[in-house]
Amino acid sequence: MSSSVATPSSPQQDPPAPAAPTTTAARTAKRPGDVIFSGLSIGSGLLIFLTLALVFIFLLIRSWPAIQTSRELTGNADAVSLVQYVAPLVYGTVLAALLALLMAVPIAVGIALFISHFAPRSLATPLGFLIDLLAAVPSVVFGLWGGVWLVPRLEPLFFFLNEHLGWIPLFGGTVSAPMRNMASASVVLAVMILPIITAVTREIFLQTPRLQEEAALALGATRWETIKTVVLPFGRSGVVSASMLGLGRALGETMAVLMVLSPGETFSLRILQVGQHNTIAANIASHSAEATPDVMARLIFTGLVLFVFTFIINAIARAIVSRTTKS
């Protein structure tokens, strides 16, 4: 880490150096290993585009019957309005993911800082390992745990919030057990995305140039000031990227939401009231089993919306990252 940027590249150039400089380039390019490897890596890179394009085309073709017969295209008042159908689902999906991020990111950054800068090595290593392990737990397990264990334990907290902070729209409305509401779902989602955000953020914080940190300490900065002035600015884009990974998982999460949330289709802010929100993925999962072809087309259309939406959110995140790194 302490070496300058130029040095690491020179040892790599060393091995081919003994041969005559003029022929090296030509000879290395012709080696079959190189050709195969570059072909493979280019192929894998293109495969991503191909898969994405195929998924997009599939979604478009299969949802076309729904788009074609929608109220928006036909102008027929009796037809199903796709906008009216999709909008509450999009709202619910985004609300769940944002609430989950709001809860998970600060805690994840805290855990990552603890592991990278505060914990003794003997604790940091197993803790990091544990976080990686948690990131691999399937979401259905989180859903089961959330539905069976966590939600009943959140009851007193939610009743308290509703009673004392009910004047905030978020906590208003009528609250009744079991707490199969948006708040429970987003707590389970937050727990679920916590490990992945933590794991990525920790890696970034560990990359902070040692020299800069030492310089800050040498200038008389405290531990916290060092983190504030060196580690956090350095890791900012990494934290955003990690959050986007978590957001992606939260947006598309199906089982955990399905098992914890009693769905509804409103634009309500009341996250403690049941039967108000639903997410796109959970809606698809719960309705696909007995779906008639036209309902199926509509469900696939919501999938298309989610696909496009994830794209947009990722683009926004990239924009944020590039802007922060520039400044």
Nearer to another protein, 69 or 176 (CB): 176
Question: Interface with another protein includes 293 (CB under 8 A)?
Answer: yes
By CB under 8 A, tell whether 159 contacts another protein.
no
Question: What are the C-alpha distances in Å from 15 to residues 11, 20, 28?
Answer: 8, 12, 12
- Total binding residues toward another protein, as defined by CB under 8 A: 29
Q: Are 288 and 56 in contact (CB under 8 A)?
A: no
* One of 24, 69, 176, 310 touching another protein (CB under 8 A): 176
Letters for 47-66 (x = contact with another protein by CB under 8 A, - = none) are: --------------------
Check residue 69 for interaction with another protein (CB under 8 A): no
Residues 225-284 that bind another protein (CB under 8 A): 258-259, 262-266, 273-276
Q: Which of 110, 126, 152, 169 binds another protein (CB under 8 A)?
A: 152
Distance CA 209, CA 264 (A): 49
Give the separation between CA 15 and CA 117, rounded to whole angstroms. 38
In degrees and rounded to multiples of 5, residue 324 shows phi and psi of -70, -35
CB closer to another protein, 201 vs 273: 273
Query: CA 301, 135, 209: angle at the middle one, nearest 5?
Result: 110
Query: Which residues, other chains included, contact 99 with Cβ-Cβ below 8 Å and sequence gap of 6+?
Result: 182, 183, 186, 189, 190, 271
Element (H or E) spanning 52, and its range? helix 32-68
Residue with Cβ nearer another protein (62 or 180): 180
Looking at 42-50, 92-100, 171-179, 207-215, which segment touches another protein (CB under 8 A)? Answer: 171-179
290 binds another protein (CB under 8 A): yes
Closest CA to 108 of 236, 201, 198: 198
Contact flag: residue 169 with another protein (CB under 8 A): no
Nearer to another protein, 107 or 255 (CB): 255
- Look-up of token digits 């150096």: 17
Distance CA 9, CA 3 (A): 11
Nearer to another protein, 82 or 299 (CB): 299
Identify whether the C-beta of residue 276 lies closer than 8 Å to the C-beta of residue 212. Answer: no
Binding mask 177-216 for another protein (x = CB under 8 A): xx-x------------------------------------
Both structure tokens of 70: 């929608």
Residue appearing with tokens 């905030």: 168
The Cα–Cα gap between 279 and 269 comes to 14
The region of 42-50, 147-155, 199-207, 209-217 touching another protein under the rule CB under 8 A is 147-155
> Rounded CA gap, 149 and 154, in Å?
9
| Residue 212 identity (one-letter amino acid) | Q
Which range in 26-34, 202-210, 232-240, 289-297 contacts another protein by CB under 8 A?
289-297
We find the least distance from the C-beta atom of residue 176 to another protein, in angstroms, to be: 6
Question: Looking at 147, 235, 238, 252, which residue binds another protein (CB under 8 A)?
Answer: 147
Q: Work out which of 291, 313, 320, 321 binds another protein, going by CB under 8 A.
A: 291
| 219: contact with another protein by CB under 8 A | no
Residue numbers of the site for another protein (CB under 8 A)? Answer: 147-148, 151-152, 176-178, 180, 258-259, 262-266, 273-276, 285-287, 289-293, 295-296
